[in-house]
Chain A
Amino acid sequence: MKVILNTGRTVWQGEAIESGKDLKMYVDYAAVCNMSADQFEELGIKEGDNVEILTEHGDVVLKSVKAKEALPEGMVYVPMGPWANRVVKPDTESTAMPSFKGVPVELVATDKPVLDMPTLMKVYNKVSFY
């Protein structure tokens, strides 16, 4: 399903980043995809099932949740963080600012697991200099 990705703050994501980004609450509140009822129906999934977002820039698995703040048609909302940033548009268009909102993405149902923060960061294969 083609949708528009919107990212930003939620108060629960905010609480989680200040509590500790290594805690489960960070995954619970930032690795989620807020969706509307008709999107659940179209994907044939129920709340809590995992979804995958795919773009030309990357992919990420998230837990689906019902949006408490109603979304316009065709939009999903993912709290800001390392999960959302796997799929946003990195180009700054010469403004120094990447595009974190209004990104066209493919949304599919998946059985793949949601990664916790340290596991997610391992995909970048940090090189050791010491």
Chain B
Amino acid sequence: MEIHEDVPCPFCGTICDDIICKVEGDEVVSTQNACRIGNAKFVHAEGAERYKKPMIRKSGELVEVSMDEAVEEAAKMLVESKRPLMYGWSSVDCDAQSVGVELAEESFAVIDNTATVCHGPSLLAVHDVGYPVCTLGEVKNRADVVIYWGCNPLHAHPRHFSRHVFSRGFFRERGRSDRTVIVVDPRESDTSKLADVHVQVEFDKDYELLDAIRTALRGKKILYEQVAGVPRETIEATVELLKKAQFGILFFGMGITHSRGKNRNIDAGIRTIQDLNAHAKFTLIPMRGHYNVNGFNQVCTWETGYPFCVDFADGSAKYNPGETGSNDLLQNKETDGMFVIGADPGAHFPQKALEVMAEIPVVTIEPHRTPTTELSDVIIPPAFVGIETEGTAYRMDGIPIKMKKLVETDLLSDKEILVRILTRVRELKASK
């Protein structure tokens, strides 16, 4: 038995780096400090199917094949498709993502990642109005006003609240009691139950509420008795609270990126933070979901200039979310071959996109049986980053974290699989 300490967790964008893992043989058998989701990621659950061999769906049934055959079919799909889509990249390390971008360029593919159904609108807003961010360390040590808008960390990022709000920091010696927490959510979420102020916005009215906050921030009178279901007095009192912050932070999530207005909501959110900086020090951090979704946006931006939805159809990088997004390409039946890695679109794309995935060849790099593998023709199982292989991941605040290898495996890493496919794609293209 081995004990590994200070292990970074490969589940959510918080990447808690204080996990203790107990390893027996080639398995993590228990954890300490991890949340229940993180624990489930480290410890293999009884009865869950873990793929260990590559497979191809032949006449409707998955049949084990050699790695060479699976790589060959993956490469052929990319070379033969007129408009291949390469989607996912959020549960793989940055080195693999970098090979992925190269593979997309070589295949004249569109490369897109899970931000497209997550913080894609935030990325679009950043292009419009900028990105006043800080690190989670600064939040812990400095923040005295913490806003969670449209997110429920007690469920989605279970240790986020304890690590950055309850925890004591250099300038916040008493932890939670040195901080004011504001939660904006239409539901009485478990996070809102721990807040000092719960602003119960009407669903789909985030933009209106942000607009009213900015009106008050600029010293103007809000013309209506209530906006987005929130009384004028509550908005004005909240704004006064925000203005008095020594160091304020806005965390925001799917409640605002998924709601009506989408990227325009985030435009208004970021501008609110910019306005607040006339009165107080204020910053923001998007609550990123997958542990390395941010890493893909970093890698893709430094490789191509764009964070997601990058189209290599004519050999150079083009960018037009709304046309080159995965859901746009699938729903408009523009793509004729899909490559999935480090994500589960089968579980997280709408029905209309899945109807098209069922009709085109799908190659999936995936360790588990998932809704995506149910729609896949070729499945190649990789080693888990952060458990069976090491690699770099970017935390939600843009800090790179070295993920650890805890156990041995015979499986190839995502990067090794991608390099093999890239090599074969080049050979196939050269032989044409």
Contact = CB atoms under 8 A, between A and B. Distances in A.
A101 B255 contact: yes
A78 to B, nearest CB: 13
Main SS at interface, chain A: loop
A95 to B, nearest CB: 5
B371 A121 contact: yes
A93 interface: yes
B37 A11 contact: yes
Residue among A18, A93, A128 having the largest count of chain B Cβ atoms under 10 Å = A18
A15 B36 contact: yes
A43 interface: no
Given A101-B254, A121-B375, A126-B358, A71 B259 contact: no
B293 to A, nearest CB: 14
Contacts of A40: none
B327 A96 contact: yes
Interface in A49-89: 57-58, 68-72, 75, 77, 80-82, 85-89
Nearest to A10: B155
Interface string A24-58: 00000000000000000000000000000000011
A9 B368 contact: no
Nearest to B42: A18
Chain B interface size, as a band, is 35 or more
A71 to B, nearest CB: 6
Contact of B187 (A6, A20, A22, A87): A6
Contact of A97 (B121, B158, B187): B121
Contacts of B262: 93, 95, 97
Interface string B103-117: 000000000100011
Nearest to B350: A90
Interface residues of A, number: 58
A20 B374 CA distance: 14
A72 to B, nearest CB: 5
B253 to A, nearest CB: 8
B124 A90 contact: no
A57 to B, nearest CB: 6
B382 interface: no
Given A17-B347, A124-B358, 16 more contacts: A6-B187, A11-B37, A19-B48, A69-B188, A69-B189, A75-B187, A81-B347, A88-B351, A90-B350, A90-B351, A95-B124, A96-B116, A98-B350, A121-B371, A121-B375, A126-B60
Interface of B: 11, 35-41, 45, 47-49, 56-60, 73, 112, 116-117, 120-121, 124, 152, 154-156, 158, 186-190, 200, 202-204, 254-255, 257-260, 262-263, 308-309, 321-328, 331, 344, 346-355, 357-359, 361, 368-371, 374-375, 377
